[in-house]
Amino acid sequence: MKIIENDKIHEKLYIEKLENGLTVMVIPRKNVRKKYIICGPNFGSIDNKFIIPGKEQATELPDGVAHFLEHKMFEQKSGVNSLDTLTALGVNANAYTTNDHTAYLYEATDNFYDALDEYMDYIQNPYYTDENVEKEKGIIGQEINMYQDYPEWQVYLNAIKCMYKNLPIRVDIAGSIDSISKITKEMLYDCYNNFYTPSNMVMVICGDFEPEKIIEEIRKRITIKENKELPKRIYPEEPEEINQKEMVVKMQLSNPLFAIGFKDKVEGNMVKKHIAIDILLNTLFGESSKLYRELSEKNLLLGTLDLEYDYSKEYAYVLITGQSREPEKVIKRINQEIENAIKNGINQEDFSRNKKKIYGNHILEYNSVEETSRMFLVDYFKGVNSFDYLEEFDQVTQEYAEKVLKEVLTSEKEVTSVVLGDEQ
């Protein structure tokens, strides 16, 4: 067992790779009642083309298979839904699908090990039939239609479509009504058997556990012993330039929504860059920034700006979203603020204050067993250990942040997405 200790927060991470290839990570928390477990494969919505070992021809999936598979994992051959079983035990269970991974989780204060029996059972024993796959198409179809009516989702997805021309990140994670109509049980089994193999999965556990003992409990419940070779993933070539500059649509809403995106490259120290961009975004547009106060005082901004930097091994982007009665004015002022910062630099005091704030917020995430577990799982799929962020904060200087500002927040990489009301 590998043990990594971080002196800054006095946390220990225990990592063990089991015989079947499953990586288990344990973050023990003494005298904490809540226990949390999350596990899943490095398989998400963008993994829709791959070559299965032993085959020459590539398998190409319709959009939405990873999300569809996640929905079907709870259904058991007995006719019982595992989510209902877990809920009856008094635990809070859920699952989700992203662009690059899928995850299954639950949190509990009592009955953790009874829930673990069910949890390990349904993750390792999928049950797909022609009938239950067809039934699920109707359920997911309703979900797709619902999200199409959400302006918040559309302003986000349209920004992604503006940035990306070919990469499947530009497609709704759930797919479309047309694409899910093509999904079969054979596709689901193919994906499960090739991507839900233990060597492509990670499990993170946080709570009052003895690492050796909880890992032994996991071992007892493992039925999948095989450590298989993984498929070769095939992604379309994505140009560095953006796909289109802007997209404006109309929907039923009272006040317009807007998103400003910047397409980035996955290169260099992504942890250090991520920290720098978080500091920059908060310094320029956060609640304590001069621009935010100005926009709020002029009633140009309704609520706060959502500031995000997201990256995986295949993509990276900045997204600034908000709501305004006059989005074009807000977008213009945001761009002016970026241009000014590129030209004149950023205020040293503001940079220092926001750096401390973001570091503090990051430390606070470790107070939650849920946030800690999800952080380590998400970072693992990026090839990162979450403790790396704590070590890299000291390396992010104002000079480095201003260099990142000039490289990432440029007009050539910028897109805008706006959702207006029907009457506007």
- Is the Cβ–Cβ distance between 418 and 256 less than 8 Å? yes
Distance from chain centroid for Cα 140: 20
> Is 70 an active-site residue?
yes
Taking Cα atoms as reference points, which of 44, 61, 261, 305 lies closest to residue 161? Answer: 261
Length of the chain: 424
Which candidate in 70, 107, 136, 238 is catalytic? 70
Taking Cα atoms as reference points, which of 313, 319, 309, 317 lies closest to residue 279? Answer: 309
Distance from chain centroid for Cα 259: 18
Within 10 angstroms of residue 240's Cβ, the number of other Cβ atoms is 9
What's the token pair of residue 283?
A: 């310094």
Cross-strand pairs, 263: 317
Taking Cα atoms as reference points, which of 244, 99, 100, 234 lies closest to residue 161? Answer: 244
Residue that the structure tokens 């344990």 belong to: 26
- In 228-269, alpha helices (H): none
Taking Cα atoms as reference points, which of 259, 278, 262, 282 lies closest to residue 270? Answer: 278
The Cα-based distances of 385 to 128, 311, 377 in angstroms read 35, 15, 9
Catalytic residues: 70
